[in-house]
């Protein structure tokens, strides 16, 4: 049986864009390192955690929809109902209103528990929720329907359909239970409408005498006038009455309709079960497997941040770097140490930066001995001369990477393209597409003669000649050996 892929909604599409704060941190990291990263890897980093992206949800146009099953075809085009306080999308107006009442009622009402007169009447039986055990009330009580709906929405809705919930209601004939319900109804929550107090009018400015010195201060009034108390809004002893008042007085602050909506990724968990949640979670799972849409959404943002995006190879793999690539032309010269280093990297493509001291300088790193092996005759660390050579190597490599002559990948691999004619160089730099791909791995054997000559040139060059012939790097990018 073939494996079923992530759900794809025929009615809604979801796209993921980087959240501003996380994107700024990611961009700063890439910019500081000057390393080259695959665009898909950046996209995978963005969708890896919900707090790193923004979701843009929109209904699909009729021509874009996948063919749904016959029983699930809606009669009308889907619309998005948006909860105004937090921007979450819902499939119906009622669901959005219920969400606002459950999560954001404090934004519109102040709540206080008060004591009221208990209901009057002849109550012989009490209905009780079979799931929570909470007393709902007698079925002949005039507010029983409201209480039933409120209890289901607040405590049962996500667990059971409403009809199944009604079938689980128990009927109790016990005077003690009736008394318990009456005592419970003596306490109720009162909802008082929040009315914004008008801003106090600013007192008229005192005229400043022209003869007063420039440093003179205007005297403050002796006592400020007391602020007017905020008017008290109407109060309601039932949630249904408060809901009705809210929807008649401030509906535009509760729910609105839109053809697209943006909300934070961490709010996905607050979406109720339904088509919208399935659409978002299915799209997110597909992007985490193959983030093509997220990568395309990232291109424009990265270009606006002045990153270089180029394609490499016949597969069209896109790479991102804060440094624009530069290519050498035949006969171009550098300082001896830099020329030797770039020749070595060209002859050993995809060599790692951490391997250069051993492979390029023939300096074997000394492993730290364990405490049991430490003796008075323990071997000494690298000599001062070796440390100076490694420091120069690091400075030269940093300059080559920041100038764009050497590509350093996020895992430390290095690549230096061979010199090319001026026409070919301009063509690649203009189109940002190189048909030749990066090598898969470093070759097993390098050209021994070229490497030995490059190492000899690097060892014979005096330490003072660090800057290249073509253009000297800034001092903070190529530090002297003593500052490494």
186 and 331 share a domain? Answer: no
441 and 342 share a domain? Answer: yes
346 and 238 share a domain? Answer: no
What total of structural domains would you count in the chain? 2
Residue 313 lies in a domain: no
Residue 294 lies in a domain: no
Residue 25 to residue 338: CA distance in whole angstroms: 32
153: nearest Cα among 87, 206, 102: 102
Q: Write the CA distances from 360 to 349, 389, 446, integer angstroms.
A: 13, 11, 11
Residue 372 lies in a domain: no
Residue 443 lies in a domain: yes
pLDDT at 37: 95
330 and 449 share a domain? Answer: yes
Alpha-carbon 381 to chain mean position: 45
Residue 341 lies in a domain: yes
475 and 334 share a domain? Answer: yes
240 and 342 share a domain? Answer: no
Q: Which residues contact 201 (CB under 8 A, 6 or more apart)?
A: none
332 and 478 share a domain? Answer: yes
pLDDT at 279: 95
Residue 434 lies in a domain: yes
144 and 240 share a domain? Answer: yes
237 and 360 share a domain? Answer: no
Q: Which residue has the tokens 């249904």?
A: 240
- Give one word for 87, left, alpha or beta, with left for phi > 0 and alpha for psi -120 to 50: left
Contact 352, 360 (CB under 8 A): no
pLDDT at 308: 92
Residue 408 lies in a domain: yes
For 414, the token pair is 């290095």
**Ordered per-residue pLDDT tens for the chain, 484 residues:** 566 789 999 999 999 999 999 999 999 999 999 999 999 999 999 999 999 999 999 998 765 545 444 444 444 556 799 999 999 999 999 889 888 988 898 999 998 988 888 888 888 999 999 988 999 999 998 888 888 888 887 788 667 788 888 999 999 999 999 999 998 888 888 899 986 544 444 444 444 433 334 433 334 344 444 434 445 678 888 888 888 899 898 999 999 999 899 999 999 998 988 899 999 999 999 999 999 999 999 999 999 999 999 998 888 899 999 999 999 999 888 999 999 999 999 999 999 999 999 999 998 875 555 555 555 555 566 788 999 999 999 999 999 999 999 999 999 999 999 998 888 888 887 777 788 888 875 444 443 344 344 444 444 443 333 333 333 333 333 333 333 2
333 and 424 share a domain? Answer: yes
For 216, the token pair is 């003179």
| Residue 376 bridge partners (DSSP) | none
261: nearest Cα among 419, 81, 101, 421: 81
Q: Which residues contact 115 (CB under 8 A, 6 or more apart)?
A: 186, 187
| Residue 317 bridge partners (DSSP) | 312
pLDDT at 64: 55
Domain boundary among 221, 255, 289: 255
Residue 287 lies in a domain: no
For 345, the token pair is 């990297």
For 131, the token pair is 């799931």
250 and 395 share a domain? Answer: no
Domain that holds residue 145: 102-196+232-255
245 and 349 share a domain? Answer: no
């Amino acid at each position: 049986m073939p494996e079923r892929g992530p759900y794809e909604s025929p009615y809604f599409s979801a796209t993921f864009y980087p959240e501003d704060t996380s994107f700024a941190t990611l961009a700063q990291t890439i910019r500081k390192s000057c390393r080259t990263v695959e665009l898909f890897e950046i996209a995978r980093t963005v969708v890896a955690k919900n707090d790193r992206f923004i979701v843009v949800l929109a209904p699909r146009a009729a021509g874009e929809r996948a063919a749904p099953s016959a029983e699930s075809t809606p009669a009308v085009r889907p619309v998005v109902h948006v909860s105004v306080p937090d921007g979450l999308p819902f499939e119906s107006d009622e669901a959005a209103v219920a969400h606002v009442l459950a999560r954001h009622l404090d934004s519109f009402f102040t709540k206080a528990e008060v004591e009221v007169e208990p209901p009057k009447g002849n109550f012989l039986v009490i209905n009780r929720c079979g799931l929570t055990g909470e007393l709902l009330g007698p079925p002949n009580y005039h507010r029983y329907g409201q209480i039933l709906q409120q209890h289901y929405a607040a405590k049962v809705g996500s667990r059971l359909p409403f009809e199944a919930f009604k079938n689980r209601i128990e009927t109790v004939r016990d005077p003690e239970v009736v008394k318990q319900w009456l005592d419970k109804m003596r306490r109720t929550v009162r909802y008082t409408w929040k009315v914004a107090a008008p801003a106090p009018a600013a007192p008229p400015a005192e005229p400043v005498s022209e003869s007063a010195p420039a440093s003179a201060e205007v005297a403050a009034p002796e006592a400020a006038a007391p602020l007017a108390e905020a008017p008290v809004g109407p109060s309601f002893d039932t949630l249904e009455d408060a809901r009705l008042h809210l929807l008649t007085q401030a509906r535009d602050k509760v729910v609105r309709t839109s053809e697209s909506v943006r909300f934070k990724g961490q709010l996905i968990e607050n979406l109720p079960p339904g088509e919208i949640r399935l659409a978002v979670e299915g799209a997110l799972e597909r992007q985490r497997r193959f983030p093509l849409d997220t990568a395309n959404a990232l291109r424009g943002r990265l270009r606006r941040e002045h990153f270089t995006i180029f394609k490499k190879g016949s597969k069209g793999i896109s790479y991102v770097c804060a440094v624009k690539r530069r290519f050498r032309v035949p006969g171009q010269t550098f300082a001896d140490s830099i020329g030797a280093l770039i020749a070595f990297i060209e002859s050993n493509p995809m060599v790692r930066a951490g391997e250069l001291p051993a492979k390029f300088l023939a300096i074997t790193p000394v492993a730290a001995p364990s405490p049991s092996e430490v003796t008075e005759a323990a071997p000494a660390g690298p000599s001062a001369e070796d440390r100076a050579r490694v420091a120069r190597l690091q400075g030269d490599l940093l300059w080559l990477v920041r100038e764009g002559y050497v590509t350093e990948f996020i895992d430390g691999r290095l690549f230096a393209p061979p010199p090319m004619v001026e026409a070919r160089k301009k063509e690649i730099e203009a189109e940002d597409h190189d048909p030749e791909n990066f090598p898969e791995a470093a070759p097993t054997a390098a050209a021994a003669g070229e490497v030995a000559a490059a190492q000899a040139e690097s060892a014979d060059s005096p330490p003072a000649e660090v800057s290249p012939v073509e253009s000297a790097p800034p001092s903070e990018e190529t530090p002297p050996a003593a500052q490494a």
